[in-house]
């Protein structure tokens, strides 16, 4: 049984998981010859990864990762050969419903030198189902490759969501995470990027929204191992009602990461006096010649902005909604797919309409 004090999870046990029977990827989409996409269960033996090097104490911890490795019922495998460029985003859409209430997905993405792709994971619910998601995504970005991974979680308020994400980036490679946390009653997420070689790059952009009794724990880490590696973490959120969040951002400069640069920032709007927000930025350093900076800001809606908008004819609730949407838009606008931006904007507006 698992106890997680930060999000008030006590004596929690994982559910028994059946087969996930819904289709979640389109294997018939036109991909270039150098891209191989399949379900993980069909491809796991053909992926060229040293599995013995993967430690289960990373991410959310051994309990969560070993559960995925032993019980996964879905997930994708993507292998990009050298210099392969995938023009269209690759979509994995997981919908949880009464007949398929649990998704335990194991995702493996390998990008050989010079390859590029955008991969989108969506997790949502249909109806009043008590859904469960526990995922583990591993990224291997080789030299000069570029991967953008977008994760959108908008499960209902009866659901539990846990997600571990780990990326290993070689020289000149780039991994760009964009994460959207808008749903579930309990949510624990971890994103760790290892910048292993010279000029490797890691970026993470995140938005989150808490309402009702929702509890979130978000942990983002950039581990600098390579010279001149670059990282940036940016998180923006809004909390209302009795919601609670814990944000932990870590910049870790290991020995050998000379001339590396890393930065992190978090901005959260507190819309009710009953919310609770903990921000724990961390800066660790074993190397002398590096640059690291962090910032965290939490506060209420700016009264001057609110007065200005109301003086232009907007009602107070409309003005508040506009200010909050504006604070989240810098992250939403980074998503290169118009239809996804519309879905996210619609979900944010619906939350305010229900408030």
Residues 68-80: pLDDT tens digits?
A: 989 999 999 999 9
Distance CA 219, CA 10 (A): 20
pLDDT over 90 (residue 244): yes
Q: In the prediction, which pLDDT does 353 show?
A: 67
The overall average pLDDT reported for the chain is 90
Whole-angstrom CA distances from 154 to 28, 341, 351 are: 26, 13, 11
Report how far residue 35's alpha carbon sits from residue 79's, in angstroms, rounded to the nearest whole number: 6
Rounded-to-integer distance, Cα 203 and Cα 23, Å: 30
Q: How many CB atoms lie within 10 A of CB 213?
A: 13
The arithmetic mean of pLDDT across residues 91-111, rounded, is: 96
The angle formed by the CA atoms of residues 166, 167 and 168, to the nearest 5 degrees, is 130
Question: How large is the average pLDDT for residues 247-252?
Answer: 94
Higher-scoring residue by pLDDT: 30, 19? 19
- Burial class from Cβ neighbours inside 10 Å (0-12, 13-18, 19+) for residue 28 reads exposed
Q: Which of 23-37, 151-165, 243-257 has the lowest mean pLDDT?
A: 23-37
- Edge-first strand order for the sheet with 215-224 is 35-39, 76-80, 102-111, 132-141, 160-169, 186-195, 215-224, 244-253, 276-285
What region, left, alpha or beta, does residue 343 occupy, with left being phi > 0 and alpha being psi -120 to 50 degrees?
A: alpha
Reported as type and span, the H/E element at residue 168 is: strand 160-169
* Global model pTM greater than 0.75: yes
State the Cα torsion 330-188-223-150 to the nearest 10°: -40
Give CA–CA dist 164/105, Å, rounded. 10
Instruction: Identify the pLDDT of residue 143.
Output: 97
Mean pLDDT, range 152-158, rounded to an integer? 95
- Specify whether the CB–CB gap between 155 and 124 falls below 8 A: yes
d(Cα 60, Cα 56) in Å, to the nearest integer? 9
Give the Å distances, CA to CA, from 259 to 185, 220, 223, 281, 284: 42, 22, 14, 21, 15
Q: Which residues are within 8 A (CB) of 350 and not within 5 positions of it... i.e. 6 or more apart?
A: none
Q: What phi and psi values does residue 43 have, to the nearest 5 degrees?
A: -120, -5
- Residue 164's nearest CA partner among 140, 129, 135, 124 is 135
Helix H or strand E encompassing 191: strand 186-195
Q: How far apart are the C-alpha atoms of 131 and 187, rounded to whole Å?
A: 12
**Residue among 182, 174, 129, 113 nearest 152 (CA):** 182
Phi first, then psi: give them for residue 23, nearest 5 degrees: -75, 135
Residue 56: pLDDT over 60: no
* pLDDT (mean) for 147-153: 98
Q: How many CA atoms lie within 13 A of 240 on its CB side?
A: 16
> What sign results for the dihedral spanned by CA atoms 318, 320, 321, 322?
positive
């Amino acid at each position: 049984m698992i106890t997680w004090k930060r999000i008030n999870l006590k004596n929690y046990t994982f559910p028994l998981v059946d087969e996930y029977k819904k289709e979640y990827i389109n294997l018939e989409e036109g991909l270039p010859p150098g891209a191989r996409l399949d379900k993980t269960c069909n491809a796991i033996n053909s992926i060229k990864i040293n599995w013995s090097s993967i430690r289960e104490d990373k991410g959310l911890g051994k309990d969560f990762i070993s559960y995925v490795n032993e019980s996964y019922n879905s997930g994708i495998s993507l292998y990009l050969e050298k210099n392969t460029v995938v023009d269209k985003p690759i979509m994995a859409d997981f919908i949880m419903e009464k007949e398929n209430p649990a998704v335990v997905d194991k995702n493996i993405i390998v990008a050989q030198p010079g390859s590029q792709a955008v991969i989108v994971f969506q997790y949502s619910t249909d109806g009043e189902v008590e859904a469960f998601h526990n995922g583990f995504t591993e990224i291997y970005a080789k030299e000069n490759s570029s991967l953008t991974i977008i994760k959108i979680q908008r499960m209902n308020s009866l659901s539990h969501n846990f997600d571990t994400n780990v990326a290993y980036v070689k020289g000149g490679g780039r991994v760009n995470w964009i994460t959207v946390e808008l749903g579930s009653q309990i949510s624990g997420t971890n994103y760790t990027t290892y910048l292993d070689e010279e000029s490797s790059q890691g970026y993470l952009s995140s938005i989150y929204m808490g309402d009702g009794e929702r509890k979130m724990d978000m942990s983002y880490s950039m581990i600098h191992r390579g010279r001149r590696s670059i990282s940036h973490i940016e998180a923006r959120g809004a909390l209302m009602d009795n919601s609670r969040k814990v944000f932990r951002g870590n910049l870790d400069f290991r020995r050998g990461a000379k001339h590396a640069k890393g930065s992190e920032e978090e901005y959260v709007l507190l819309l009710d006096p009953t919310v609770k927000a903990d921000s724990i930025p961390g800066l660790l350093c074993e190397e002398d010649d590096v640059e690291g900076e962090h910032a965290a800001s939490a506060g209420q809606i700016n009264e001057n902005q609110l007065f200005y908008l109301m003086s232009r004819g907007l009602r107070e609730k409309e003005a508040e909604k506009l200010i909050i949407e504006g604070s989240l838009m810098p992250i939403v606008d980074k998503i290169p797919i118009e239809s996804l931006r519309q879905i996210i904007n619609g979900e944010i507006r619906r939350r305010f309409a229900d408030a």
